[in-house]
């Protein structure tokens, strides 16, 4: 697309056959020279337009990505925050320590738990909501869509604070509803078996609006003729869903799965505000452990090794998803 704009914008716009253009030799050479001059200014303009972004990107993204890798091989600590260059290289020490670290393994397990349960639930419920919204209902669609999407736009801190109160065993919403039926509820966030499922429930609740909106856009792009044809051929609702909807939503599914998984692998705010990683490290996630080591204890070299390990895991899982979820026909 970009190539056509630079090579032959005039031909494309006038719609004239190229022979006529060439035959008009009088206008040929000056126009070509003008085009080359224009290309020259485009190089300069392109870079001038890119500079502000690249400067910020280089300082706050590219450099830190490299620096993080370098730091992961050092004993970077609190004193190095003011004097970074006096840090000592320790080779692979951080990494060997990391793989022997019981707490880190615990954090990895908790993160995996959060992802393996949370991602399918989020995507599944988002898909269900989208399918329901896309079905024959004709009124209140916007109303429902806005309602389902609302948790996505609200501050995670506010949401976590509210949920902590919702789950409160004494005065909370859930225990209140249960009390109406004469039931009692456990203390969700103080139980090492229930704390993580509670965080997952909250994350699913908060995030399912995102896949819903994407799936809804995907569903609306499926031509109604395709559906009608399948119905005429005698396909039931389940068959139509499996053979028409799911395959045609594959690209959306891929995007949603990748984005949601990356987000969930980096889960931090939910445990930070709601449980602080407890009880007994049962909700300590990798990112929270990294934050704790880096900013509470200032073991920044160690925390960098943790960040990089997590990044490699994220990258590997993303690549796997791209490989296995991609449309096999293309």
Partner 1 sequence: MSTAESTRPATGRAGSQSTREAARRRERSHKTLIYTLLSIGLLVMLAPFGWMALSAFKTTEDLTASPPVWIPTEWTLQHFRDLLNVLDVPLHFLNSTFVAVCVTAGNLLFCSMLGYALAKLNFFGKRPIFGLVLGALMVPMNLMLIPKFVLMSQFGLLDSYAALILPFAAGAFGVFLMRQFISSVPDELLDAARVDGANEWFIYWRIVLPLVKPAMATLAIFTFMGSWNNFLWPLIVTNDPDKYTLPVALATFAIDPTKSEGSNGMLMAGAFLVVLPILLVFIVLQRYFTQGIATAGLK
**Region 225-284 residues binding partner 1, contact defined as CB under 8 A:** 251-252, 255-256, 262, 265-266, 268-269, 272-273, 276
Per CB under 8 A, which region of 105-113, 116-124, 240-248, 286-294 contacts partner 1? 286-294
- Does residue 109 interact with partner 1 by CB under 8 A? no
Count CA atoms closer than 13 A to 213's CA, side-chain side: 13
Q: Which of 148, 282, 283, 284 binds partner 1 (CB under 8 A)?
A: 148
Closest CA to 196 of 277, 120, 257, 298: 277
Query: By the 8 A CB rule, do 141 and 133 touch?
Result: yes
- Does residue 130 interact with partner 1 by CB under 8 A? no
- Does residue 316 interact with partner 1 by CB under 8 A? no
- Does residue 100 interact with partner 1 by CB under 8 A? no
Query: By the 8 A CB rule, do 170 and 81 touch?
Result: no
Task: State in angstroms the smallest separation of the CB of 227 from partner 1.
Answer: 15
Residues 158 to 177: which contact partner 1 by CB under 8 A?
158-166, 168, 170-171, 173, 175-176
DSSP string, 22-88: HH-TTTHHHHHHHHHHHHHHHHHHHHHHHHHHHHHHIIIIIHHHHHHHHHTTB---HHHHH-GGG--
Task: State in angstroms the smallest separation of the CB of 263 from partner 1.
Answer: 8
Q: Which of 23, 92, 179, 226 binds partner 1 (CB under 8 A)?
A: 179
Task: State in angstroms the smallest separation of the CB of 318 from partner 1.
Answer: 6
106 versus 151: smaller Cβ distance to partner 1: 151
- Does residue 68 interact with partner 1 by CB under 8 A? yes
- Does residue 190 interact with partner 1 by CB under 8 A? no
Q: Which of 231, 311, 321, 325 binds partner 1 (CB under 8 A)?
A: 311
Task: State in angstroms the smallest separation of the CB of 116 from partner 1.
Answer: 18
Task: State in angstroms the smallest separation of the CB of 160 from partner 1.
Answer: 8
What's the distance, CA 133 to chain centroid? 23
Residues 193 to 212: which contact partner 1 by CB under 8 A?
205, 209-210
Query: By the 8 A CB rule, do 262 and 314 touch?
Result: yes
Task: State in angstroms the smallest separation of the CB of 254 from partner 1.
Answer: 10
Task: Count the residues in the chain.
Answer: 330
- Does residue 124 interact with partner 1 by CB under 8 A? no
What is the rounded CA–CA span in Å between residue 317 and residue 322? 9
What is the rounded CA–CA span in Å between residue 320 and residue 282? 28
Residues 28 to 47: which contact partner 1 by CB under 8 A?
38-39, 41-47
Task: State in angstroms the smallest separation of the CB of 187 from partner 1.
Answer: 15
Task: State in angstroms the smallest separation of the CB of 313 from partner 1.
Answer: 10
Task: State in angstroms the smallest separation of the CB of 127 from partner 1.
Answer: 13
What is the rounded CA–CA span in Å between residue 162 and residue 195? 16
194 versus 294: smaller Cβ distance to partner 1: 294
What is the rounded CA–CA span in Å between residue 21 and residue 15? 10
DSSP string, 107-153: HHHHHHHHHHHHHHHHHHHHHHHHHHHHSS--SSHHHHHHHHHHHHH
Ramachandran area for residue 277 (φ above 0: left; ψ -120 to 50: alpha; else beta): left
- Does residue 154 interact with partner 1 by CB under 8 A? yes
Q: Give yes or no for a cis peptide into 279 (omega within 30° of 0).
A: yes
């Amino acid at each position: 697309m970009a190539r056509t704009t630079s090579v032959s914008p005039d031909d494309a716009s006038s719609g004239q056959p190229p022979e006529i253009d060439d035959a008009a030799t009088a206008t040929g050479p000056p126009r070509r020279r003008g085009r080359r001059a224009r290309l020259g200014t485009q190089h300069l303009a392109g870079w001038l337009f890119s500079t502000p972004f690249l400067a910020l990107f280089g300082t706050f993204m590219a450099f830190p990505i490299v620096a993080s890798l370098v730091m992961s091989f050092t004993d970077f600590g609190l004193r190095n925050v003011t004097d970074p260059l006096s840090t000592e290289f320790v080779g692979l020490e951080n990494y060997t320590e990391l793989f022997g670290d019981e707490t880190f393994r615990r954090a990895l397990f908790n993160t995996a738990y959060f992802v393996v349960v949370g991602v399918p639930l989020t995507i599944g419920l988002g898909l269900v909501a989208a399918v329901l919204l896309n079905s024959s209902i004709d009124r209140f669609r916007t109303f429902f869509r806005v309602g389902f999407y609302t948790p996505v736009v609200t501050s995670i801190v506010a949401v976590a604070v509210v949920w902590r109160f919702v789950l409160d065993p004494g005065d909370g919403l859930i225990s209140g509803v249960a009390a109406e039926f004469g039931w009692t509820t456990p203390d969700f966030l103080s139980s090492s078996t229930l704390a993580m499922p509670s965080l997952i429930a909250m994350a699913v609740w908060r995030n399912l609006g995102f896949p819903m909106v994407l799936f809804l856009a995907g569903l609306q792009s499926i031509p109604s003729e395709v559906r009608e044809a399948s119905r005429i051929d005698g396909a039931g609702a389940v068959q139509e869903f499996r053979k028409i909807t799911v395959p045609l939503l594959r690209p959306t599914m891929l995007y949603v799965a990748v984005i949601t998984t990356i987000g969930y692998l980096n889960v931090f705010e939910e445990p930070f505000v709601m449980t602080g990683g407890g009880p007994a490290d049962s909700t300590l996630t990798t990112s929270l452990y990294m934050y704790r080591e880096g900013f509470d204890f200032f073991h920044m070299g160690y925390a960098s090794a943790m960040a990089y390990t997590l990044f490699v895991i994220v990258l590997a899982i993303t690549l796997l998803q791209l490989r296995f979820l991609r449309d096999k026909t293309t």
